[in-house]
Homo-oligomer: A and B are copies of this chain.
Amino acid sequence: MIDYQEILEEIYEEVTKHYGEGRVADYIPALSEVDPRQFAFSIVTKEGDEYHVGDSSVKFSIQSISKLFTFTLALDIYSRELYKRVGVEPSGNPFNSLVQLEYEHGIPRNPFINAGAIVITDTLINHYGDDYKAFEVVLNFVRDLAGDSSITFDPVVSTSEMEHGFRNLSLANLMKSFDNLDNDPRVVVQTYFKQCAISMNSRELARSVLYLANGGVDPVTGKEYITKTQARRINAVMLTCGHYDASGEFAFHVGLPGKSGVGGGVVAVVPGEMGICTFSPALNKYGNSHLGTLALEMFVEKSGFSIF
C-alpha cells in the first residue's frame, strides 16, 4: 500500500529547493506577475480519495490544459469526422509553429498545439451555433468534471492574451486561408483565449481528469462522458503530443499521459488509478512547468507508476 501523502510531502520538500529556477511566462502582464515561488501537487484516486500538498487551493490560469477538455467535447460530437480537420501526430516543432501548418495545408498536426486547439474551438462554435454558447458549454463541462459550479475565467487574462495574440491570429488566418476555419478568425481566437483563461486550482484539475483514468466515466459520480476507446485515445494523444516539443522527453522521463499549460499547471493520468495535477508557475525552456515536471518524475520513481 503506497502512502501517497508521504510521497507528496517528500516531493514538496525536494522540489521547493528548486524555487528560483525557470521563468514565469512573460508574454502577457497577467501571467508575468504571478509569484513563481508556488508549488502544488494533487491526486484524486479512482476511489475518490484525495491527496494534496502545497498551494493546492491557489487558482491559476489553466491555459493549454483547456485543450484537453475542448478536444474531449469535440471528439464526443464529431467522432472520426474530426480527423479531417486535425491530426493526431506529434508535431516535432514548437507549439506555435507556422512552418508545419503551411507545409501541411492548414491541417494542424494535433489538437494540443495552438493551431489544432483553435480548429477544435471552431468546430465547437459550429456545433453550438455561436461563440458565447460554445464557451458556455466548455465552462459547464469543466465545472461538471471538477464538481464545482463556481469555476470561471479571468477576463483580464483573456483580454490581455487577445492584445498580444498576434501569432495565434496569424495561425487562425492561415488556416482560414486554407479553408480549415469556418468562423471569423478573431472570434475563434477570442473564444480560444477565454477557454485558456479559465481559472482552477490543482485540486479541481486533478479531479477533472479523473474520467480519463477510468475509461471515460467519472468513477465518483458515475457519469459517462466518453467511451473507453475515446478515453484511451485522448490519453494516447496526450502522451505523444501533450508537451509540445518536449513530449518525447515527458514520455521518456515520466511515462504517463499528461498535458501542460503555460500558467504552470500540468495534469497527468495514471490509467485505472488516478488523476494528477501539479502546479508551479516557473517554466522550463520548453514552456512546461519546471518544478511540476520534476515533481512528476519524482512521483513515478517513488510510486513505480508507468504505463510502460
Contact = CB atoms under 8 A, between A and B. Distances in A.
Nearest to A164: B177
B308 A239 contact: yes
A240 B239 CA distance: 8
A248 B237 contact: yes
A102 interface: yes
Contacts of A231: 308
A194 interface: no
Contact of A167 (B93, B173, B253, B306): B173
Contact of A102 (B90, B97, B232, B237): B97
Given A236-B252, A239-B240, A248-B240, A98 B89 contact: no
A36 interface: no
Interface string A278-299: 0000000000000000000000
A245 interface: yes
A87 B245 CA distance: 11
A198 to B, nearest CB: 24
B170 A166 contact: no
A199 interface: no
Interface string A81-99: 0000001111111000111
Copies of this protein in the complex: 4
A306 B169 CA distance: 38
A307 interface: yes
A76 to B, nearest CB: 16
Given A98-B174, A307-B308, A308-B235, A251 B240 contact: yes
A4 B171 CA distance: 48
Contacts of A187: none
A288 to B, nearest CB: 13
Contacts of A98: 98-99, 102, 170, 174
A245 B89 CA distance: 7
A200 B102 CA distance: 34
A247 interface: yes
Among A91, A98, A100, A235, the most chain B Cβ lie within 10 Å of the Cβ of A98
Given A177-B166, A251-B240, A90 B88 contact: no
A87 B166 contact: no
B308 A249 contact: no
A247 B240 contact: yes
A215 B34 CA distance: 42
A102 B102 CA distance: 11
A4 to B, nearest CB: 21
Nearest to A241: B248
A100 to B, nearest CB: 7
A299 to B, nearest CB: 14
A248 B239 CA distance: 9
Q: Which 6 A-B pairs have the closest CB atoms?
A: A92-B92, A90-B90, A89-B248, A170-B173, A235-B308, A166-B177
